[in-house]
């Protein structure tokens, strides 16, 4: 369980091809503070630490990604040197500052427009058609692991506004038109849709 509030920006240090792809990520998380088997969200995808190593900047850890995950997220596009939004799993008693995020990507969207304005950045993102009914004006959505508020929606395209702080401490400031992004819809919207469907049957 996560909140969509990014706690570090890691860098993809190396990758190993194979039936299960292995990613080595450098982060500023203290080496002694990480545990094997722990979950960390990588651009919104919950992955398990299978190796942990000390690093001058904090730590290097390895996660393994299945072909299915590579196919349904943007992780298959990663290249050495890419910056990654990281969030450690929520602990009991932690502040829930964003919204409830599961780390299970629902689909991949595409940035169709970027607007750089004074003090903020606006984005238009096209979501897969199957997800549009779960996206609501002023509702929550997770983009690349970041909890955001939907400013508007028309059809399959929704609007976002990113403040300078968010652009600085996440990878969202690097997004350009044509780039793909991991999307996770609000779990509450999923439950509401399911309840509505059940009530009509």
Give the predicted TM-score (pTM) of the model: 0.92
Task: Look at residue 1 in the predicted model and tell me its pLDDT.
Answer: 87
Same domain, 66 and 137: no
Compute CA distances 31 → 36, 65, 129, whole Å.
11, 22, 41
Last residue of a domain, one of 88, 115, 136: 88
99 falls within a domain = no
- In terms of Cα–Cα distance, which of 180, 175, 136, 139 is closest to 154? 136
Same domain, 114 and 191: yes
Last residue of a domain, one of 59, 88, 117: 88
97 falls within a domain = no
123 falls within a domain = yes
43 φψ region: left (φ > 0), alpha (ψ -120 to 50), beta (else): left
Task: Look at residue 196 in the predicted model and tell me its pLDDT.
Answer: 65
DSSP 103: S
- C-alpha to C-alpha distance for 9 and 144, rounded to whole angstroms: 12
DSSP 20: S
**H-helix or E-strand containing 190?**
helix 187-199
How many domains is the chain partitioned into structurally? 2
The range of the structural domain enclosing residue 179 comes to: 107-199
Percent of the chain with pLDDT over 90: 82
Same domain, 124 and 163: yes
- C-alpha to C-alpha distance for 137 and 158, rounded to whole angstroms: 8
Using the predicted structure, report yes or no on whether residue 172 has a pLDDT greater than 80. yes
The whole-chain average pLDDT of the chain stands at 92
Last residue of a domain, one of 88, 123, 147: 88
Same domain, 114 and 195: yes
pLDDT digits over 90-106, tens only? 877 777 777 889 999 99
Q: What are the two backbone dihedrals, phi and then psi, of residue 192, each rounded to the nearest 5 degrees? A: -65, -40
Q: What's the CATH code of the domain at 121?
A: 2.40.30.20
């Amino acid at each position: 369980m996560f909140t969509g509030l990014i706690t570090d920006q890691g860098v993809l240090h190396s990758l190993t091809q194979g039936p299960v792809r292995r990613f080595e990520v450098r982060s500023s998380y203290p080496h002694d503070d990480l545990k094997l088997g722990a979950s960390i969200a990588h651009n919104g995808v919950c992955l398990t630490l299978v190796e942990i190593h000390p690093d001058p900047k904090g730590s290097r850890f390895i996660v393994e990604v299945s072909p299915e995950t590579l196919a349904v997220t943007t992780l298959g596009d990663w290249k050495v040197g890419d910056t990654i939004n990281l969030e450690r799993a929520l602990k009991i008693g932690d502040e829930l500052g964003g919204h409830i995020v599961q780390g299970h990507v629902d689909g991949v969207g595409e940035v169709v427009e970027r607007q750089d304005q004074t003090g903020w950045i606006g984005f238009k993102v096209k979501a897969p058609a199957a997800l549009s009914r779960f996206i609501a004006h002023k509702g929550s959505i997770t983009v690349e692991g970041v909890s955001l508020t939907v400013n508007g929606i028309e059809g399959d395209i929704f609007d976002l506004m990113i403040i300078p702080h968010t652009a600085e401490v996440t990878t969202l400031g690097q997004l350009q038109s044509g780039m793909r992004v991991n999307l996770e819809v609000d779990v509450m919207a999923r439950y509401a849709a399911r309840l509505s469907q059940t009530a009509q049957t």
